Amino acid sequence: MPYVMQKTELIGMEPIQDSLELTIYSAYVMKERIVSSLFVSEPEAGKTELMKKYRLNKGLHNRRRFTHYGIINDLIEGRIKILHDSPKILGHIMVYDYASIFTFKANTVDSTIEFIDALTEDGLSPESSYWVKGDELEPYEGLRGGLVAGINTFGFFTQGRKVRANLYKGGWFSRNVVNTYDISETMLTKIFESVANGSYHSSKDFVQYIVLQLPMKRVDVEMKNRYTREIGDVSRELAEDYSYDLRPYKLKGIRLNKSLICLTKASALRENRDYVTEEDVERIKYDSQWMNLKSNKLKLDYPFPTRGKIRYENYPSSGRPRNRTYTDLTCKGGR
């Protein structure tokens, strides 16, 4: 039976919810880099509320703010349990406000960024500034994991809509899938109507917490070469889009390609499959409309027909509008 995404009172958030869920599942995909995702929007756009709905899932370590020292201390004292033992996988640190990382002293910020970079790439190493408490940390050498974080546009962009300089530290951009979105006036009206009639209150129609049916261990998911090539094309296009907005900084897209491949496999895993199908590829293509720095608007309705091709004009990206034809898919839980 196809997976059905649980319905929330957060109107129009389905594509962001989808990307968030697949990021969580990425910690369970064998042989691939764990995906880290950042969700960027203006205040009151629902990202924190959405993230909080997933906080009870295993492998998610929730923080409103954190430092490398705090996470390491929690590991040593047993307040954080690693998700997988071989190889050592932490899961995801979920930060509701990523900008809070930069509110500490400069040396603490640098060590925390170094810690995040290591965690999301090669694993923790004793040759680093964050390696505190010496021998006590040795059992966690090589530990890897991901980051799920939210940040509002004021903490992300300057007034000239350039990405803030501190977010470039440690090659941060190449290690994350950055998702930006905005709310249209039509959607805002719908949200106000929802508030007026009390629909935002917890009720039988909506869920307060979403607990995913995650596997007990990591799974080796098969992906055919033709699907890998398709995702590679998407990755190169997205890297071009990011690079246009980050100029003169240029994103090669290699890590991004690995992340999108893992998200595609995570889509299959969520459907209880150990192999990728065309639906998984098309899902990532659709969600990729918000994997850029454009803050494209969300929609009120996501029909996602199960058969046939739909033609739509992709949001103008990097000043180069493109038309794409995608075989769309059912939005599980779409309205």
pLDDT for the residue numbered 36: 97
Mean pLDDT, the chain, whole residue set: 85
Q: Which residues contact 138 (CB under 8 A, 6 or more apart)?
A: 126
Ramachandran sector of residue 147 (left: φ over 0; alpha: ψ -120 to 50; beta: rest): beta
CA angle 30, 119, 107 (to 5 degrees): 175
pLDDT for the residue numbered 130: 87
Please tell me the pTM assigned to this model: 0.88
CATH class of the domain whose range is 14-195+215-327: alpha beta
Tokens 């190449």 belong to 174
Confidence of residue 11 (pLDDT cuts 50, 70, 90): confident
pLDDT for the residue numbered 291: 95
Between 166-180, 181-195, 226-240, 296-310, the lowest mean confidence (pLDDT) is in 296-310
